[in-house]
């Protein structure tokens, strides 16, 4: 075996060991031994900086080294393609691979540095068109760590190309000639020997859909898996893979699936790299550009997830890559190729929208996602959509445009690497003399309801609906002339854009504002003394030992921690760790698509939301899960009459998204309902209740508890939170079928108090809708107000209690303040 010669010279004994083994080729062990050794020996990363950093850190250990692996493909001239080359155990494959490996070695000789650290090249596969797939490995001993950054893709390619040029001058007629060659840095864990059998699969895609799963699915694959699926199809076809279930650990560095439009793990032809768990509403489905595809599964974490269950089949190239055309109806829809699957790499198409003379085209994207690593969305040098001379790429939650004439051309381009879900667009012809019949025409070309003009919300996207307004009595006039809901005043958020809504909010610039609004000199902060009456000047001072204020977090051992929101923030603050106990909460197991817009909640987006059904009336109130046996809700849901106080009349549904499909929800009966003795049905004070379940819940992807905040937890005014529900107190009309969500923000207590003529007690807080145009009623009495903290968990700030009607924009919603009743919850439920 020629490979042995590669280890001559300055290699150390561990590599000589490989050499010896390699002298006995063509046994199955070969691959396994190499695999194991590679795993043991190689410590590498894809990114040069990382490798450099590692090498630097490890330089004191003489035996450690950095390994860099490059992979790609090359086109071969002057050889006939033989199908036997697809069988890696055939003599033809072995002979030809060896010949090419030898050739690659000599190509690297053109660069002395590469030659010095060269370890080996391995040809892993062939495909028709006489394409060969390979990877090359370089090992740099720790003592030479400073040269690691020299191993760039450019340098490798330069060496290969100049080597090919030199050889072509001295070429003999019978010689194999390498033409176009590619090389890109890859993860060493995906470089496999062609003879490897462990977790290596060859699949043939056909017309009929076939299935494959990751090993061990669904109970979970082994940690340290290096699995590869090579999928081929007959010519003139592309391959599509649909992941029915995809659940890999949510850590893309150690655990991931990488899919390539090649038989090499060559990132210049990557289709995508994914990790985490995908909800059913956002499945992963990819398509190749040609008749090959390579899928890699790498798992390194010790905790394993189920893996994936997928189907694969062919799509004829003519179908997968044909798109565009002339759209001459006055309205219609079009999408990126194969949407909502990922579009294939290397596709170009153009749609020409042609509406009657005198009309113009309005184009609206209901979904737009063409995101690639390392792309500046202002330039869009890879995949893009081009409309009227402007390129669009990345991720956009809303995009609408209008044409200048009756013709609009939309060009779509996808390059060789990285694809995405693409877009889904809707167009309509409109009369430029009357662009929005009975509606307001925004400068961004969209039409909005007249009621949204001058309501303080930027509904158009460019503020054109909020200029030239007269403010009404519940609005604040900003210095720049805009009108804003006066509830937005003094909430620390600059709503006006000129800070005029935050200007008269208490203290001078050089003063410290206590939480109760008092103004004191700045130097009172963290001086170890309580200067503010409430102690808020010492509330976030990590070294204010011994100072216990109403803002301090109290550890189980009675010590005080002066840090804002110390509980469950993944930092151990109490010496007894009690701040990080009972923190299995506030997590969404599904990895949700960030751009999920609209008002409909995704399955698993609010896994603590519960629907309370009363007798035969169906959904009546909301609640939240705070442990597997306890739900939190509002007293007023049970104080209507005696029947409502009887636990036997209630059924709870957890994990429910749609009020028509109960089969996936967990149904539990109620053992006990505890309402607050202080509940007042006139003022709605102490509007809190606990429900104990007969049977515990089973936590799952769609059923999870929310974190309860410590009584000292602060949800500051201006903070954005979410209110969810099916809408019980809807003013008119039916309940929503799908769980609704709305973004709201916390309102300054003083401001809300004034607004509500002093009906707010300290057991209540206010929040209001953040975006305009909401005409549904998202809140559910008893449902949660959920707030995401940067430490990564969701906390329940409030319980939906009362408000003046539903989502009338300038009215606040009033919630039971969970922090003020935290001790009551603990007393009665133990949670
Ligand atoms: C090889 O590369 C050249 C230039 O990049 C290109 O024009 C040619 O089409 C390529 N040939 C093949 C067979 O891919
Ligand atoms: C994969 O999913 C399909 C369709 O849901 C199902 O029929 C099949 O049993 C699943 N395979 C495994 C191994 O669970
Ligand atoms: C286009 O799609 C939207 C939403 O997906 C749908 O409401 C509309 O009816 C479609 N229009 C046409 C002309 O197909
Ligand atoms: C609308 O936009 C155009 C340019 O896009 C700008 O010139 C014009 O002033 C804008 N009009 C308003 C009312 O904002
Ligand atoms: C709330 O607004 C009042 C003025 O109305 C201001 O004095 C106070 O500091 C604000 N509170 C907070 C926490 O920002
Ligand atoms: Ca404000």
pLDDT in tens, 680-703: 988 899 999 999 999 999 999 999
Give the model's confidence band at 810: pLDDT under 50 very low, under 70 low, under 90 confident, else very high.
low
Ligand 1 neighbourhood includes 75 CB (under 6 angstroms): yes
Give the model's confidence band at 24: pLDDT under 50 very low, under 70 low, under 90 confident, else very high.
very low
The DSSP H or E segment spanning 765 is: strand 764-769
List the alpha helices (DSSP H) in 282-386: 317-320
The neighbourhood of ligand 6, an ion, using CB within 5 A, equals 488, 491, 493, 495, 501
What is the per-residue pLDDT for 611?
A: 95
User: Which of 558-562, 667-671, 724-728, 731-735 is predicted most confidently?
Assistant: 667-671
What is the per-residue pLDDT for 729?
A: 46
Exactly one of 445, 552, 781, 801 is catalytic; name it.
781
Residue found under tokens 């699995």 = 227
Average pLDDT (215-240) is 90
pTM above 0.75, yes or no: no
Give the model's confidence band at 444: pLDDT under 50 very low, under 70 low, under 90 confident, else very high.
confident
687 as an active site residue: the answer is yes
What is the per-residue pLDDT for 47?
A: 37
Q: Which CATH superfamily is domain 447-505 in?
A: Low-density Lipoprotein Receptor (4.10.400.10)
Q: Which fold has domain 201-318?
A: Jelly Rolls (2.60.120)
Q: Which ligand 3 atom minimizes the distance to the CA of 331?
A: 13
Q: Which ligand 3 atom minimizes the distance to the CA of 424?
A: 5
What is the per-residue pLDDT for 775?
A: 41
What is the per-residue pLDDT for 39?
A: 39
What is the per-residue pLDDT for 482?
A: 86
End-to-end Cα separation, the chain, in angstroms? 68
What is the per-residue pLDDT for 521?
A: 82
Ligand 1 neighbourhood includes 527 CB (under 6 angstroms): no
Average pLDDT (275-279) is 86
Note whether 385 and 348 are within 8 A (CB): no
Burial grade of 79 (CB within 10 A; 0-12, 13-18, 19 or more): middle
Do 201-318 and 609-829 fold alike per CATH? no
Note whether 568 and 791 are within 8 A (CB): yes
Average pLDDT (528-551) is 69
Please name every residue paired with 131 in a beta bridge, in sequence order, or none if there are none.
75, 127
What is the per-residue pLDDT for 18?
A: 28
Exactly one of 66, 687, 767, 829 is catalytic; name it.
687
Select from 516, 517, 564, 719 the residue to mutate for testing ligand 5; criterion: most ligand atoms less than 8 Å from CB. 517
Three-state DSSP class for 14?
A: helix
What is the per-residue pLDDT for 455?
A: 77
pLDDT in tens, 459-509: 787 888 888 888 888 888 888 888 888 888 888 788 888 888 888 877 777
Give the model's confidence band at 542: pLDDT under 50 very low, under 70 low, under 90 confident, else very high.
low
781 as an active site residue: the answer is yes
pLDDT in tens, 369-406: 999 988 998 999 999 999 999 999 998 877 888 899 99
Note whether 223 and 246 are within 8 A (CB): no
| Residue 433 predicted with pLDDT over 60 | yes
Question: Residue 738: left (phi > 0), alpha (psi -120 to 50), or beta?
Answer: beta
Name which residue leads in pLDDT, 763 or 769.
Answer: 763
DSSP state of 326: E
Give the model's confidence band at 43: pLDDT under 50 very low, under 70 low, under 90 confident, else very high.
very low
Average pLDDT (813-819) is 92
Quick one: tokens of 78? 């002057």
What is the per-residue pLDDT for 765?
A: 93
CA gap 459, 1 in Å, rounded: 71
Average pLDDT (584-609) is 78
* CATH entry 3.30.1050.10 includes domain 66-190: no
Q: Ligand 5 centroid vs 513 CA: distance in angstroms?
A: 9
Q: Ligand 2 centroid vs 348 CA: distance in angstroms?
A: 35
Q: Ligand 5 centroid vs 487 CA: distance in angstroms?
A: 11
Tell me how many helices (H) and strands (E) the chain has.
9, 44
Burial grade of 668 (CB within 10 A; 0-12, 13-18, 19 or more): buried
Please choose, from the candidates 663, 689, 714, the residue with its C-alpha nearest in 3D space to the C-alpha of residue 816.
689
Average pLDDT (109-137) is 92
3-state secondary structure 113-171: HHHHHEEEEEEEEEECCCEEEEEEEEEEEHHHHHHHHHCCHHHHHHHHHHHHHHHHHCC
Name which residue leads in pLDDT, 300 or 314.
Answer: 314
Select from 443, 461, 469 the residue to mutate for testing ligand 4; criterion: most ligand atoms less than 8 Å from CB. 443
**Looking at domain 609-829, which of 2.40.10.10, 3.30.365.10, 2.60.40.1930, 3.60.15.10 is its CATH number?**
2.40.10.10
Domain locations along the chain? 66-190, 201-318, 322-430, 447-505, 518-581, 609-829
Ligand 4 neighbourhood includes 443 CB (under 6 angstroms): yes
Please name every residue paired with 391 in a beta bridge, in sequence order, or none if there are none.
386
| Residue 3 predicted with pLDDT over 70 | no
Average pLDDT (97-115) is 92
Q: Ligand 2 centroid vs 309 CA: distance in angstroms?
A: 6
Q: Ligand 1 centroid vs 95 CA: distance in angstroms?
A: 26
Burial grade of 558 (CB within 10 A; 0-12, 13-18, 19 or more): exposed
495 as an active site residue: the answer is no
Q: Which fold has domain 322-430?
A: Jelly Rolls (2.60.120)
Please name every residue paired with 400 in a beta bridge, in sequence order, or none if there are none.
364
Residue found under tokens 């909800």 = 279
CA gap 187, 610 in Å, rounded: 44
């Amino acid at each position: 075996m020629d490979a042995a010669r590669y280890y001559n010279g300055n290699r150390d004994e561990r590599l000589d060991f490989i050499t010896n083994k390699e002298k006995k080729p063509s046994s199955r062990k070969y691959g396994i031994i190499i695999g194991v050794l590679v795993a043991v020996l190689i410590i590498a990363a894809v990114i040069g900086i990382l490798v450099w950093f590692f090498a630097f850190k490890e330089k004191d250990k003489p035996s450690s080294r950095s390994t860099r692996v490059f992979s790609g493909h090359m086109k071969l001239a002057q050889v006939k393609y033989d199908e036997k080359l697809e069988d890696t155990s055939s003599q033809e494959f072995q002979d030809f691979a060896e010949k090419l490996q030898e050739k690659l070695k000599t190509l690297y000789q053109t660069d002395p540095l590469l030659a010095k650290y060269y370890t080996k090249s391995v040809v892993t596969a062939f495909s028709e068109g006489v394409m060969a797939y390979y990877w090359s490995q370089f090992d740099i001993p720790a003592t030479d760590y400073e040269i690691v950054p020299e191993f760039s893709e450019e340098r490798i390619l330069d060496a290969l190309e100049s080597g090919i040029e030199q050889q072509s001058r001295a070429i003999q007629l019978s010689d194999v000639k390498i033409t176009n060659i590619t090389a890109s840095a890859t993860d060493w864990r995906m470089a496999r020997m062609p003879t490897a059998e462990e977790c290596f699969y060859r699949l043939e895609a056909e017309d009929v859909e076939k299935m494959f799963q990751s090993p061990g699915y669904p109970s979970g694959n082994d940690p340290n898996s290096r699995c590869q699926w090579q999928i081929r199809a007959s010519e003139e076809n592309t391959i599509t893979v649909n992941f029915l279930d995809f659940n890999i650990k949510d850590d893309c560095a150690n655990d991931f699936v990488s899919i390539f439009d090649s038989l090499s793990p060559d990132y210049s032809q990557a289709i995508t790299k994914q990790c985490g768990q995908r909800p059913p509403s956002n499945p992963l489905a990819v398509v190749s550009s040609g008749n090959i595809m390579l899928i890699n599964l790498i798992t390194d974490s010790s905790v394993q997830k189920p893996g994936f269950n997928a189907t694969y089949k062919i799509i004829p190239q003519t179908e997968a890559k044909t798109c565009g055309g002339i759209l001459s109806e006055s309205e219609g829809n079009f999408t990126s190729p194969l949407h909502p699957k990922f579009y294939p790499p290397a596709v170009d198409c153009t749609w020409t929208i042609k509406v009657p003379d005198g009309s113009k085209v309005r184009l609206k994207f209901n979904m737009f996602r063409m995101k690639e690593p390392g792309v500046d969305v202002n330039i869009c040098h890879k995949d893009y959509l081009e409309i009227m001379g402007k390129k669009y790429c990345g991720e956009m939650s809303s995009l609408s445009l209008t044409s200048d004439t009756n013709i609009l051309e939309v060009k779509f381009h996808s390059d060789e690497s990285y694809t995405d879900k693409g877009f889904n667009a809707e167009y309509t012809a409109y009369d430029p003399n009357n662009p929005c019949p009975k509606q307001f025409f925004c400068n961004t070309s969209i039409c909005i309801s007249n009621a949204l003009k001058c309501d303080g919300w930027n509904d158009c996207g460019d503020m054109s609906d909020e200029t030239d307004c007269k403010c009404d009595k519940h609005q604040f006039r900003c210095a720049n002339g805009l009108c804003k809901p006066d509830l937005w005043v003094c909430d620390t958020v600059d709503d006006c854009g000129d800070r005029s809504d935050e200007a008269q909010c208490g203290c001078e610039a050089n003063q410290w504002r206590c939480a109760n609004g008092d103004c004191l000199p700045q130097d009172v902060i963290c001086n170890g003394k309580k200067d503010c009456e409430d102690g808020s000047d010492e509330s976030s001072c990590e070294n204010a030992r011994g100072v216990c204020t109403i803002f301090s977090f109290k550890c189980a051992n009675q010590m005080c921690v002066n840090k804002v929101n110390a509980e469950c923030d993944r930092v151990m603050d109490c010496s007894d760790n009690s701040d990080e106990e009972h923190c299995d909460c506030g997590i969404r197991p599904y990895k949700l698509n960030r751009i999920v817009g609209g008002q409909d909640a995704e399955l698993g987006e609010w896994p603590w939301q519960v629907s309370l059904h009363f007798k035969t009336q169906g959904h009546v109130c909301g609640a939240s899960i705070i442990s597997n046996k306890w739900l939190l809700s509002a007293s007023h849901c049970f104080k209507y009459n005696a029947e409502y106080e009887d636990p036997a009349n209630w059924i709870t549904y957890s994990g429910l998204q749609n009020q028509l499909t109960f089969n996936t929800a967990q149904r539990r009966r109620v053992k006990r309902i505890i309402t607050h003795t202080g509940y007042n049905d006139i003022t709605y004070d102490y509007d809190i209740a606990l429900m104990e379940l007969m049977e515990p819940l089973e936590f799952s992807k769609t059923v999870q508890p929310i974190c309860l905040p410590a009584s000292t937890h602060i949800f500051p005014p201006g903070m954005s939170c979410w209110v969810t529900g099916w809408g019980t107190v809807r003013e008119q009309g039916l309940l929503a079928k799908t769980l609704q969500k709305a973004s709201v923000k916390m309102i300054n207590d003083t401001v809300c108090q004034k607004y509500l003529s002093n009906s707010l007690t300290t057991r209540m807080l206010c929040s209001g809708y953040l975006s305009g145009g909401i005409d549904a009623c998202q809140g559910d009495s008893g449902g949660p107000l959920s707030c995401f903290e940067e430490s990564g968990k969701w906390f329940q700030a409030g319980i939906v209690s009362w408000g003046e009607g539903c989502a009338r924009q300038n009215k606040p919603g009033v919630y039971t303040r969970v922090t003020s009743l935290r001790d009551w919850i603990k007393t009665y439920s133990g949670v």
